[in-house]
Structure 1
């Protein structure tokens, strides 16, 4: 088969397309990079302004309010351990990267999911793209991100957004399309418009499912922090990557443990937000 047909120059086509984008839209990429970098630094400075013990107490209180005393106790102990091990500042960098990535994923993903749930044409276009985004190895996203945004936190954010966005879109579509038909028929019987039905019935009932999508996006963004560190993104991922390259098993375990603690805290809090919304809707 190799000799029957000439090889398609897909790699050359991709390189030409990327070079064309960089040449013609460099000003746009520079603006996006400056905005994202400033936003991440703003979050880090804002969180860093609060003393570590006070921020630990605040997050523990939030966990108690949203979850229960067990998660609150875990939050207090976990954050105290991270601070004790000397990873507090890098944890803030990681949280800033995750919050920025997930925030962009939500801002783009939820409206796109709503649109796809209301239009079969849009859905037929979006779903294959989501399949492509989720099956493509995460490392591949770093290559164009480096070309467009150079080394640093920005390509890490961009790659994390691409990797973390699909669950938000998918579960937004799922939540809205799974609203019981009898409720939709009832709203139509009362003469509600499509917009009214969407805003007052479908989206409120879909909130728990949408929150589950956001929860998954947070976990996927956290899973990208080590990969993002390969292109210069700061944070706990950089500590893990440095430990791997220097064969420092203990340091790698400490940084990995810090990532796990942050992941559990964010996971439990966002899960319980979804459950509370579900209970309130019911």
Structure 2
């Protein structure tokens, strides 16, 4: 009998008592519910300006005549890439998106991706700079970034939805949490890779820490930072379908609908529209990063 018990103990992992586990879960769930009831409205009011801006920007893109949006998007693509081929590809792609009846959803997706990318840049670059300046800050933030990148998106959707309900803001928060790590990591890396001799030379010329950062480190790190921004945009676009599960309107919702109702063509067309946006963003930001790098090399060479 003792041998059987010993064998059971060796083959089965010693688990916590189920009643104890249930009590711990109930306590934690209850505490979070209390927190969301107590502070949910306060946190929602904090995000009200962002929600207002997001609604305004979405309405602006949808209500603006399509040819103006088309011209604006192709102008931005050309300004970033200096490639008329890519600008022409942007025009053709958006015309096809409109022709297949996906214009409004594409504009909604474009608005949320633009806002999420801007938020990621505004929050991510200062955090990356702080990490580059202090090894202690880096050692604190790197584990958080690891958790944000490896934890499934569905897991952190649960507390966000419990706290703020279903809608645009929970979607934005979920997308930013998922998409911000690359811009933080690559800002930190880019600044740390700046040649020490260049920094010493700038210090010798009497540059302050602020002047070194803005005039030397950030410009030289810009190609690496742009690579981080590029990855952030890609990750934000990949979250579009998951964000649609919590009420974010756009190209993700028809894809979700096609999964639940087995509409192959609907899913394929909207999926291709997301791919088109991803390729346009990717090529434009990569071309901009290459031009920045070439410009810096040229300036350095002179």
In which range does the TM-score fall when normalised by the shorter chain? over 0.9
Pick closer, same or farther for the CA change 1:20–1:177 going to 2, 3 Å.
farther
Residue 35 (structure 1) aligned with residue 49 (structure 2): yes
Q: CA deviation at 1:127?
A: 0.5
1:35-75 Cα deviation digits (max 9, x unpaired):
33222111111212321122212322332333212211210
Q: Alignment partner of 1:25: what SS?
A: helix
Q: Is the 8 A contact 1:66 1:273 kept in 2?
A: yes
Indicate the structure (1 or 2) with the bigger Cα radius of gyration. 2
Residue 46 (structure 1) aligned with residue 46 (structure 2): no
Instruction: Give unmatched runs, 5+ long, in structure 1.
Output: none
Q: CA deviation at 1:268?
A: 1.4
1:217-236 Cα deviation digits (max 9, x unpaired):
11101000100011111000
Residue 18 (structure 1) aligned with residue 32 (structure 2): yes
Q: CA deviation at 1:77?
A: 0.8
Q: CA deviation at 1:133?
A: 0.5
What is the match of residue 173 of structure 1?
188
Residue 199 (structure 1) aligned with residue 214 (structure 2): yes
> Any runs of at least 4 consecutive aligned residues in structure 1 with deviations exceeding 6 A, and if so which?
none
Pick closer, same or farther for the CA change 1:59–1:14 going to 2, 3 Å.
same
Q: Is the 8 A contact 2:109 2:240 kept in 1?
A: yes
Q: Is the 8 A contact 1:33 1:149 kept in 2?
A: no
Superposition pairs of residues 103-252 of structure 1, within 5 angstroms: 103-252=118-267
1:135-185 Cα deviation digits (max 9, x unpaired):
001111211111111111221111001000000100000010000111112
**Which segment is superposed worse, 34-43 or 118-127?**
34-43
Residue 97 (structure 1) aligned with residue 112 (structure 2): yes
Pick closer, same or farther for the CA change 1:13–1:206 going to 2, 3 Å.
farther
What is the match of residue 276 of structure 1?
291
Q: CA deviation at 1:27?
A: 2.9
1:189-248 Cα deviation digits (max 9, x unpaired):
233332221121111111111111111111101000100011111000001001111100
Q: CA deviation at 1:272?
A: 1.8
One of 3, 27, 31 as aligned partner of 2:14: 3
**Which segment is superposed worse, 157-166 or 17-26?**
17-26
Q: Is the 8 A contact 2:237 2:278 kept in 1?
A: yes
What is the match of residue 61 of structure 1?
75
What is the match of residue 80 of structure 1?
95
What is the match of residue 276 of structure 2?
261
Q: Alignment partner of 1:262: what SS?
A: helix
